[in-house]
Amino acid sequence: MARYQLILAYDGAKLEGSQRQAKTVPPAGELLDERRAKRTAQGELEKALRTLGWTGRSVLIAGRTDSGVHAEGQSVALDFEWAHGPDKLRAALNAALPPDLAVRAAREVHPDFQPRFDATSRRYRYQLFCDPVRDPVRERYAWRVWPAVSGEVLQSVCPIFLGRHDFAAIGSPMKRGGSTVRTVSLSAWTESEGGWRYEVRADAFLYRMVRRLVFVQVMAAQGRLSAEQIRQAVESQAKLPSGLAPAHGLSLVEVTYQDQTK
Beta strands in the chain (DSSP E): 2-10, 60-61, 70-80, 101-109, 119-130, 143-145, 163-166, 181-192, 195-202, 250-257
As a whole number of angstroms, the distance between CA 37 and CA 5 comes to 25
Q: Is 66 a catalytic residue?
A: yes
**Three-state SS string across 175-233, please?**
CCCCCCEEEEEEEEEEEECCEEEEEEEECCCCECHHHHHHHHHHHHHCCCCCHHHHHHH
Mapping DSSP to helix (H, G, I), strand (E, B) and coil, where does residue 67 land?
coil
Q: Which of 33, 66, 118, 259 is catalytic?
A: 66
As a whole number of angstroms, the distance between CA 102 and CA 48 comes to 11
CA distances from 229 to 21, 116, 127 (A): 37, 33, 24
Mapping DSSP to helix (H, G, I), strand (E, B) and coil, where does residue 95 land?
helix
Catalytic center residues? 66
